Amino acid sequence: MRAPLALHASLRAVRLRSSARLFTINAVSTCKSYSTAPPPTTPAAPPKDKPYYITTPIFYVNAAPHVGHLYTVVLTDILKRWQQLQGRKTLLCTGTDEHGMKIQQAAAAAEMEPKKFCDSGANTFLSLANQAMCMYDTFIRTSGPRHHDAVQYFWQKLQQRDYIYTGKHEGWYSVADETFYPESAIEHTLDPATGRKIVVSRETRRTVEWTSETNYHFRLSAMAPRLLEYYKANPAFVEPDFRYKEVITEVEKGLEDLSISRPRDRLSWGIPVPNDPSQTIYVWLDALINYLTASGYPWTPGQEHVAGWPADAHIVGKDIVKFHAIYWPAFLLALDLPLPKQVFTHAHWTMNHKKMSKSDGNVVNPFYAIQRYGVDTMRYYLAHDGGIRDDGDYSNEMIVSRYKSDLKSGLGNLVNRVCGVNFDLETAIQESTQDVWKMETRDRLMQALASATAEDANELMKQFDIPNALKTIMKLVHETNKYIQHQAPWALKAREQKPEQNKIIFLSAECVRVAGILLRPFMPSKSKEILDQLAVDTKKRSFKYATYGADDSYGVGTKGKKGLVFPPLSE
């Protein structure tokens, strides 16, 4: 939703220090004095058949997509497909964040009306989702009328509960970061391009300007006790755990009330505050509500869970943890609405271990990458090498290396061997049911690995450990290649050696079949090619069949029909 910001710096920026006299709030509303909110009501548990609801953040359309956007989309889609693999109804929401000062300024610079500017940007992100093979159910745009109504309704509910008041807001404000900064977080310097004196944020190096305005505020400070209570009761609310600890530490230090509107004469592109046309709703309050809008909010009584709420997982970059782990639950708790079950955060991509930036010319265009290497290859690389806890370092050389070693020489070569012209997989599968083979230690090890891989990978996926889940599946592929190379079934040519050859081919084919099923969320097209080549029934490609001996009906007509699943890469 926003340009990258370090978590600590962002949180410090919002927590403006009154002692520095940079941020003052003078209540001017006639609202009654506010006391600590009443204890939250316990929402009814969602029904067991509630769809699994997963979201990407909505992406800001002021600039073109980069590889970080593609990464988030791919991770979210993999998690959705993994749930579907297990037979669960799953809903995925993605979309675009289209309001705020940055959009207004970018549209003006492009000499376009904001709506037309957003239409163009939204179409670009929609194209990225489609090219990434993202199985989204909703592509939401915050400029749409349904979202407009949901945001205004949400605002009015907060207002009814006295969580909103008016006040004066002063401080160093960054349009690019949509954030006020304290004096300690800014720096007076010279613009290297013009030599003009400017003031910038120390952390993001973006320009800030002194701003004084009257707007609306949310009583975020009053929500700290309830947030901490919720964090304590839900220790897995944010993953990875070290980012959750950072969030808790920041809340424990104390929260300042949050400015949630901007004067309309300064920001006209956004949703107006209900009953006050002089103010525009703060873009981050507006944006976060998209997750509710997509689930049908405001709901008809009794229909709260039909479209998936509460969300099972928000997938976000590490730069927007604050908004999803502090602001968002605070807004929801204020209205006693169910909170999302988890906020899963991932790290960023660097190049040559340096942050990507347009000025350095090292920003990866995701459309070019997909065109150059193929969507399945890019999905595999991003899932395998992407950073969850720490940043991943993007490398074209590594993409090529992964393709050649893991996919072409590894998985592709294994499929070619199993479906070789000298082997009869159909007969081998039939023979497997007749208990005529002598199982040696090496055979039983492969049998055990084919039986255990699905559950091992599933345990990792439950922890959102996508890279290691993929590596667990690929371990089955690598071990099978070692097995078939060691057993050398092509050397067993005598008639009496045929059962031994069939055993080796069957065990290898079982491992390929299991791996092919488990790779469906990661490489949808290539896994389909593999399972098609093995003639696996389309009804037997789910998680329950991803184990040794679960299917003895495949392999029909496969002899000598091998195809090149991973051809040489055109570099």
The predicted structure's pLDDT at residue 571: 56
554 within some domain: no
Q: For residues 434 and 197, what is the distance between their CA atoms, to the nearest angstrom?
A: 84
Three-state DSSP string of 76-89: HHHHHHHHHHCCCC
On whether both 18 and 95 belong to a single domain, the answer is: yes
On whether both 453 and 336 belong to a single domain, the answer is: no
On whether both 110 and 215 belong to a single domain, the answer is: yes
Q: What is the CATH number of the domain that holds 513?
A: 1.10.730.10
For residue range 62-104, list pLDDT tens digits in order. 999 999 999 999 999 999 999 999 999 999 999 999 999 999 9
The predicted structure's pLDDT at residue 257: 93
On whether both 316 and 463 belong to a single domain, the answer is: no
The predicted structure's pLDDT at residue 80: 98
2 within some domain: no
On whether both 277 and 162 belong to a single domain, the answer is: yes
On whether both 77 and 173 belong to a single domain, the answer is: yes
State both tokens at 39. Answer: 């204890």
The predicted structure's pLDDT at residue 560: 64
For residue range 216-228, list pLDDT tens digits in order. 999 999 999 999 9
481 within some domain: yes
| Axis-axis angle for helices 375-385, 366-373 (nearest 10) | 110
Domains held by the chain: number: 2
Q: What is the CATH number of the domain that holds 68?
A: 3.40.50.620
Interstrand relation of 313-317 and 261-263 (parallel, antiparallel or unpaired) = unpaired
Quote the domain boundaries for residue 233.
7-346
Residue ranges, the chain, pLDDT below 70 = 1-45, 178, 180, 359, 560-562, 571
The predicted structure's pLDDT at residue 194: 81
370 within some domain: no
39 within some domain: yes
152 within some domain: yes
Question: Pick from 346, 368, 384: which residue ends a domain?
Answer: 346
On whether both 340 and 401 belong to a single domain, the answer is: no
On whether both 336 and 482 belong to a single domain, the answer is: no
Interstrand relation of 349-351 and 392-394 (parallel, antiparallel or unpaired) = parallel
The predicted structure's pLDDT at residue 68: 96
299 within some domain: yes
On whether both 225 and 151 belong to a single domain, the answer is: yes
Other beta carbons within 10 angstroms of residue 46's beta carbon come to 17
The predicted structure's pLDDT at residue 570: 75
Instruction: Using alpha carbons, select from 393, 158, 107 the residue that is nearest to residue 282.
Output: 158
The predicted structure's pLDDT at residue 10: 37
On whether both 120 and 236 belong to a single domain, the answer is: yes
On whether both 305 and 400 belong to a single domain, the answer is: no
The predicted structure's pLDDT at residue 304: 87
On whether both 275 and 399 belong to a single domain, the answer is: no
Q: Per DSSP, what are the bridge partners of residue 166? A: 216
303 within some domain: yes
Instruction: Using alpha carbons, select from 283, 282, 308, 314 the residue that is nearest to residue 295.
Output: 308
The predicted structure's pLDDT at residue 178: 67
What residues contact 543, with CB distance under 8 A and at least 6 apart? 85, 86, 87, 454, 458, 517, 518
Q: ω before 65 within 30° of 0 (cis)?
A: no
